[in-house]
Amino acid sequence: MSLVITGIGELTTHADEEPRDGPFAVVVEGDRVAWTGRARDAPPADTAVDVDGRAVLPGWVDSHTHLVFAGDRGEEFGQRVAGRPYKPGGIQTTVDATRAAPDADLAARLRRHVDEAARQGTTCLETKTGYGLTVADEVRAARIAAGTTGVDEVTFLGAHLTPTGTTTPDYLDLVCGPMLVAVAGHVRWIDVFCEDGAFDADAAARVLAAGAARGLGGRVHGNQLGPGPGVAVAVAGGAASVDHATHLTDDDVEALAASDTVATLLPACDLSTGQPPPPARRLVDAGATVALASNANPGSCYTTSMALCVALAVLRSGLSVPEAIRAATLGGARALRRDDVGHLRVGARADLHVLDAPTVVHLAQRPGVPLTAAVWRAGRRVP
């Protein structure tokens, strides 16, 4: 079956040259983009949808979420806005609730949050374990995530926190040994939280190396709450991305610019936890590859809105709207090492986001306004 989406007022494809002289059209064959260009030149298709001058762009690639969880951290959030700083230790609250939850509850919550993201234009989504922290609970989280439609990438984050009742050396032996062995078949990535109060540089390097020995790509949570070794460990370990990257030295920026490690910025998290805006402008100017992601999780950042992240990156971190959109689509795809998403070049997965706006500028100009008019994921309309 083929579909032509026509009457597009502004089209972002991320091809070397964007099509000129609209209105534009995109033709979808099955789950792929088959053609893009001026609407009057579009080949015929089985069905047609006219979007009446609206802007169309690739679906968001949300390369950083933590959505396998139970419980609620509203009380902690209330204390935070009253002045108590965010601390990694809050993760244990969600660990306790997640361990106590039945499989069906975890799966239903994940489904609800993935659908919530999809309705806002997220068409490729990564999520993580990290609220189980026993072998059985981490495997359960990975299995549930891998079995959920709409979750494209799953990451093992056993090294999120040393859970209560064990020591860090013992827990690291477990994470890098039996836990990794048990979880490896369900995940593509391994991650470690490298920060004061979580894991140090040696531990993070060990986790990345153990994952690599099992064929898993690396990711690092680093430089979230203060300067630290996260970026250096990620770059030295060949990680695909270092996520947060809020507190960076000049050396960190240079190292990222000289490497393939993507700086995945989480501006909604920085807003929610009272951190400074991420240094997106500095990174882009230095030549680093930047991604924007939601970091949707119950503690530090309970939002699935990629549009909010784009607006914040423009309004608080100095990116232009096209730069922010690129980071929230192509940048995320790069962080996940995927060529099939994040753009609308011919052959891409047909992940399209129609805005209820004539241009993408409205995403930053109208923050907080729901601007998603329609979404297609892999050629299928998202309800």
The reply to whether 40 sits in an annotated binding site is no
Cβ proximity to ligand NIG, 241 vs 297, nearer residue: 297
CA-to-CA distance for 188 and 181, rounded, in angstroms?
13
Closest CB 160 distance from ligand NIG, rounded Å: 6
Nearer to ligand NIG, 51 or 95 (CB): 95
Residue sitting closest to ligand NIG (CB): 299
Question: Is 297 annotated as belonging to a binding site?
Answer: yes
Site for ligand NIG, rule CB under 6 A:
66, 90-91, 94, 193, 221, 224, 269, 295, 297-300
* Residue 301, both tokens: 């950042």
Cβ closer to ligand NIG: 14 or 128? 128
**86 labelled binding-site residue:** no
Annotated binding-site residue? 92: no
Residue 27 Cα to chain centre, angstroms: 27
CB atoms within 10 A of CB 113: 24
- Is 63 annotated to bind a ligand? Reply is no
* Pairing status of strand 32-38 against strand 55-58: unpaired
Where are any strands of DSSP class E within 223-377?
241-244, 262-265, 290-292, 352-355, 372-377
d(CA 250, CA 116): 38
Would you give the end-to-end CA distance of the chain in angstroms?
19
Minimum CB–partner distance for residue 192 and ligand NIG (Å): 10
Backbone angles phi, psi at 144, to 5 degrees: -65, -45
Q: Which residue lies nearer to ligand NIG by CB, 300 or 304?
A: 300
CB of residue 195 to ligand NIG, shortest distance in Å: 7
Residue closer to ligand NIG, measured from CB, 158 or 299: 299
Find all residues with CB under 8 Å of 9, minimum gap 6, and list them. 22, 23, 24, 51, 53, 54, 55, 358, 359
| Residue 131 marked ligand-binding | yes
Does the annotation place 300 within a ligand binding site?
yes
Q: Minimal distance in Å, beta carbon 272 to ligand NIG?
A: 9
DSSP notation for 289-315: -EEE---B-SSS-----HHHHHHHHHH
Binding residues are 64, 66, 73, 131, 160, 221, 224, 295, 297, 299-300
Binding residues for 4-imidazolone-5-propanoate are 73, 131, 160, 224, 300
Binding residues for Fe(3+) are 64, 66, 221, 295
